[in-house]
Amino acid sequence: MNKKRNIRLIEKKELDQILSDYGAKPFVAKQILDWIWKKNIGEISQMRNLPKTLLDKLSSDFTTHKVKVKTLQKSADKTIKAALELYDGALVESVLIPTPKRITACVSSQVGCSLTCSFCATGKLKRMRNLTFDEIYDQVYFIKTLAEKEYQKPLSNIVYMGMGEPLLNYQNTLQSIHYITSEQGLGMSPSRITVSTAGIAKMIKKLGDDQVKFNLALSLHAAIDSKRDQIMPINASNNLEALSQAIQYYYSKTQHRMFYEYIIFKDFNDSTQDAAQLANFAKITPCKINIIEYNPIDDSDQFQKSPVEKVEAFKNYLESKNLIVNVRRSRGKDIDAACGQLANKNLKK
């Protein structure tokens, strides 16, 4: 028996040919795509305006591989973490982050991660595989629906800051954003989307060549190689000089302001000297710096949260250099949903 193909991964040209072979009218392809993306149906049989004979043919040859909800956890601060099961049994986590001004979906791009950053729980997982673009899209659609159900508010922002490195799953990341932003899908503005990378220089340049419209954030965490080497192994092959060149190239192609993510650790990267190094690096292009408080992970006492007064002094120094700075208070810590905590805790098979 032939293995069913995922109909959502079939390009429209091929879908047109398949439907022609089935004897269906040309307009049926648009109806099917509408069911798949706008309505995000889970089963082909749910396409209610199509003839049963056609649905039977489609169902015999194709499936949707739609993600399924395994568990939901709600934080005291109303953040919701979802463990989602993929068609092959693998698990990823997505997070709904509500604030008074916005509802953000934090989505994953890989099952696990290969970068082994020492402060990140996801980095302790083995990378199993990349997510397909429809699996990424499903996460966004699910969080959108959850926000409307739980908080009666629309999804306003999307961050690719969950499990995995998006730029090591480049095509699926960009294809998922295509459907999220197109009228065929959710029709969201790309300015509402931020893709976060640990720093893959050649792929940052490729984003520039592709002239992407979404925002790009670099997980920096140290602005001197000797320190970044200690916490982010990726820095050995993508050092700060390589990243600086890539960022300047990216900016020359897109004119997009860079975002820098900087987790601040006690007595490691929270001094005035560290702030000066960060300011020196950040000045290469227009940017915004997000200082993030450290969220502890299991079996690790390597890092501690920096004191409030040191964080404030760090912020004040950067602002004295005319940089735009925001101190981000992490949400969902009590359910391991905050930055760096996603690790399928208690769900590993």
Name the DSSP letter for residue 155. -
Question: 102, 176, 187, 168: which is closest to 139 by C-alpha?
Answer: 176
Are 61 and 85 in contact by the 8 Å Cβ rule? The answer is: no
125 vs 279: CA distance, rounded Å: 33
Pair type for strands 193-197 and 215-219: parallel
Query: How many Cβ atoms sit within 10 Å of the Cβ of residue 16?
Result: 16
Beta-bridge mates of residue 249: none
Are 165 and 198 in contact by the 8 Å Cβ rule? The answer is: yes
Please tell me whether residue 78 adopts helix, strand or coil conformation.
Answer: coil
Known catalytic membership, residue 93? yes
Q: Out of 117, 120, 287, 339, pick the active-site residue.
A: 339
Known catalytic membership, residue 339? yes
Query: How many Cβ atoms sit within 10 Å of the Cβ of residue 114?
Result: 15
Helix 201-209 vs helix 240-254: angle between axes, to the nearest 10 degrees? 10
HSE-CB at 270 with a 13 A cutoff on CA atoms is 21
Are 106 and 84 in contact by the 8 Å Cβ rule? The answer is: no
* Active site members: 93, 339
